[in-house]
Structure 1
């Protein structure tokens, strides 16, 4: 039998087709694995430093230095807890930190979304602490979709007492029971 005749046999044609089908299936499997890995990547998140609105009498007379230090601590605490959860890919805000700190992120006309977009973020968090007095303080976290500008969720809690511990516990509560709680603030 000549080589040309052997190539035309049904057995050879089926074997050749099987190899082609196997290659196609392997290519499809590789594409599906790549696509599912891309879907499994957690969203990129920019967490901006918290801001303070201090309308308290002590703040007016003595300034807000302890509160400003606490803002830095709770901002870092939030970043750490969210990173450890594995549900977000935290981005370094250093390239825009100075500009963000010189803006009022709560009232700058969505400049926070612009800063987050410059970082390549899909989601962004801004936060605010409002101090009415040493006994009445409110902590607010705002999670937004950078692409659409839509607010995904707001987490808010009042705290009583102006101490490092009360600020830290309030932040832990909001992260654990709001931001990381199952189905809380999920995008659809």
Structure 2
């Protein structure tokens, strides 16, 4: 486990001091907990995309994500399971079954990372004539329609989630 809570910060400035790369360290793991700190509609951050770049299976906490925003069958969503034990058992199964594990990377036959800047890509997409335009007459309504539970509620749930997930894997997290 990496992070400041474990005395192992993984951000580039901290890694430069040790002549290491966060991606090189994290890439050795099969899975990455790519939890968002907000459950807003269609809110997906670099946590998911970076895990894919590192060839990891992101474990996500998405409730309101449109299928056309992310790559199908590239992640495990915690909300697809009835409880933590079911999720933990599934992650163990994926980890030990090469065929199932590799199925999460079938997306690589259809998608590729072209490595260009996001704002450049957005500009190109917005300039395309074939791009389907959307129009919002009231931006306030569109934003107000969003669902974003308070972060404290989400973080409280995560504390219990982490403890139960690690316990189900037999990992001692006592301080």
| Higher normalized strand content (fraction of residues) | 1
TM-score (norm 2): 0.28
TM-score (norm 1): 0.26
Over alpha carbons, which structure has the higher Rg? Answer: 1
